[in-house]
Amino acid sequence: AAAGAGLVSRSALAGDPLITEVQDWNRYLGDSVQAAPYGKPSEFEAHVVRRDVEWLTASPESSVNFTPLHELDGIITPNGLCFERHHGGVAQINPADHRLMIHGLVDKPLVFTMEDLKRFPRENRVYFLECAANSGMEWRGAQLNGCQYTHGMIHCVVYTGVPLKYLLNEAGVKTSGKWLLAEGADASAMTRSIPMEKALDDCLVAFKMNGEALRPEQGYPVRLVVPGWEGNMWVKWLRRLEVGDQPWEQREETSKYTDLLANGKARRFTWVMDVKSVITSPSPQAPVAHGKGPLVISGVAWSGNGTVQRVDVSIDGGRNWKTARIDGPSLSKAMHRFYLDIDWDGSPLLLQSRAMDEQGFVQPTKNELRLARGDNSIYHNNGIQTWHVKADGTVENVEVA
């Protein structure tokens, strides 16, 4: 054969050798269709991973890692990158060995297998799940340089599951049944009290995320979906639902997930996740590499109250705002993606985004939150985030006044 005959001259040509020379991937066969029965990302995307912050917790089995929001786009979080939060490690459960019990103030206490659950009518819904502690480390002030860490305790996927009301109806909730205790099968036996009104409204008992089975770290084989409400309530490895007439005041709704105010009082049962947004690019982990000119400012917004109606973006630290373009599906209690396409003049920016939801709630400043609640709250920090984009394109987490 005449291999290379045409190449000798080519390599002498003007222009980018990546174009003028035949590259290996344009000549030799790549991997076959048998190489990856279950596919994975390119080796060039190895940096796109969940990351934890070791000093945050005493034990990595009761800890959190964070979604790399700065690397993602659109409104769907890929399953492999959904942040993890668990209190006794990831339970590995054979679905054949899993049971879901409903008891308490019901006519007929019942036990379901996974097969049983899959015989009820199903629904598919896109919902964000945000940990109430998301941005909690930022309560006292700018601390972490990267939206993965400041805002990465959130993900948004499509759930397939059975409306919880069908299961409750099957057992027959007594009229005295006003609260529901949901319990997990993991080593923390996670429990939360949920008011019956919410349970009968839009909760799902979900076995799939983004089309495939739930991931183990998200509660495989089955989890509770509590749309718009704090992630801790979305009990994973769901094994038990008890109907009662009062809340249980479990550890996760007393010691934790209560909001200490300046006056020493603490709010309890703060369930709804408030309207919130963050610019994901540029951000500290996603600096501007290309200098001045066209710049895509991109971010996500969400609200536990329903859809996001509008997102405004400021490039001067909140003095002036422009309404961003919300792109892609706008679904209730789901992430929304927004963009502001600007022509950057190369001077430093103080980037902020401010979301407004369908009920008219507007994302507050961090100072407004501190004024209302003091400095000792941890949860429900939905304050406006500021990124300082410097002339060299690097970005820092700052606060402004």
> Minimum Å distance from CB 329 to another protein?
19
Residue 270 within binding range of Co ion, rule CB under 5 A: yes
Q: Looking at 103, 178, 251, 267, which residue binds ligand HEC (CB under 6 A)?
A: 251
Q: Could you tell me where the DSSP H helices lie in 258-374?
A: 366-373
Q: Which of 318, 319, 327 is nearest to 300 (CA)?
A: 327
Angle at 328 between CA 326 and CA 334, to 5 degrees: 85
Residue 375 within binding range of another protein, rule CB under 8 A: yes
Of residues 242 and 253, the one with the C-beta less far from Ca ion: 242
Residue 33 within binding range of ligand HEC, rule CB under 6 A: no
Q: Which does 220 bind (CB under 5 to 8 A by kind): a second copy, another protein, ligand HEC, none?
A: a second copy
Please say whether the beta carbons of 64 and 142 come within 8 A. Answer: no
Kind plus residue range of the DSSP H or E element containing 150: helix 147-151
Of residues 255 and 263, the one with the C-beta less far from ligand HEC: 255
CA atoms of 311 and 300, how far apart (whole Å): 9
Q: Which does 32 bind (CB under 5 to 8 A by kind): ligand HEC, Ca ion, a second copy, none?
A: a second copy
Q: Which of 353, 205, 338, 355 is nearest to 273 (CA)?
A: 355
Of residues 133 and 351, the one with the C-beta less far from Co ion: 133
Q: Could you tell me where the DSSP H helices lie in 239-376?
A: 366-373
Which range in 55-63, 281-289, 330-338, 343-351 contacts ligand HEC by CB under 6 A? 55-63
Q: Which does 58 bind (CB under 5 to 8 A by kind): Co ion, ligand HEC, a second copy, none?
A: ligand HEC
Residue 315 within binding range of another protein, rule CB under 8 A: yes
Q: Which residues pair with 283 in a beta bridge?
A: 286
Q: Where are the beta strands (DSSP E) in 146-222?
A: 154-163, 179-184, 191-195, 204-209, 212-213
Q: Which does 294 bind (CB under 5 to 8 A by kind): Co ion, a second copy, Ca ion, none?
A: a second copy
Of 176-205, which residues contact ligand HEC (CB under 6 A)?
188
Please say whether the beta carbons of 243 and 109 come within 8 A. Answer: no
Quick one: residue 50, left, alpha or beta (phi over 0 = left, psi -120 to 50 = alpha)? beta
Binding track over 215-254 against Ca ion, x by CB under 5 A: ---------------------------x------------
> Minimum Å distance from CB 119 to another protein?
5
Of 131-160, which residues contact another protein (CB under 8 A)?
133, 136-137, 139-146, 148-149
Q: What is the DSSP letter of 269?
A: -
Amino acid at 18: L
Of 116-155, which residues contact Co ion (CB under 5 A)?
132
> Minimum Å distance from CB 33 to ligand HEC?
11
Sign of CA dihedral 271, 276, 280, 283: negative
Residue 109 within binding range of another protein, rule CB under 8 A: yes
Of residues 210 and 235, the one with the C-beta less far from another protein: 235
Structure tokens at 148: 């993965």
Residue 317 within binding range of another protein, rule CB under 8 A: yes
Which range in 57-65, 118-126, 266-274, 367-375 contacts ligand HEC by CB under 6 A? 57-65
Q: Determine whether 222 is exposed, middle or buried from the number of CB atoms within 10 Å of its CB (0-12, 13-18, 19+).
A: buried
Of 313-332, which residues contact ligand HEC (CB under 6 A)?
none
> Minimum Å distance from CB 230 to Co ion?
5
Residue 188 within binding range of another protein, rule CB under 8 A: yes
Of residues 106 and 210, the one with the C-beta less far from another protein: 106
Maximum Cα–Cα distance across the chain: 87
Please say whether the beta carbons of 142 and 398 come within 8 A. Answer: yes
Binding track over 66-105 against another protein, x by CB under 8 A: ---------------------xx------------xxx--
Residue 255 within binding range of ligand HEC, rule CB under 6 A: yes
CA atoms of 328 and 72, how far apart (whole Å): 14
Three-state secondary-structure class, residue 70: helix
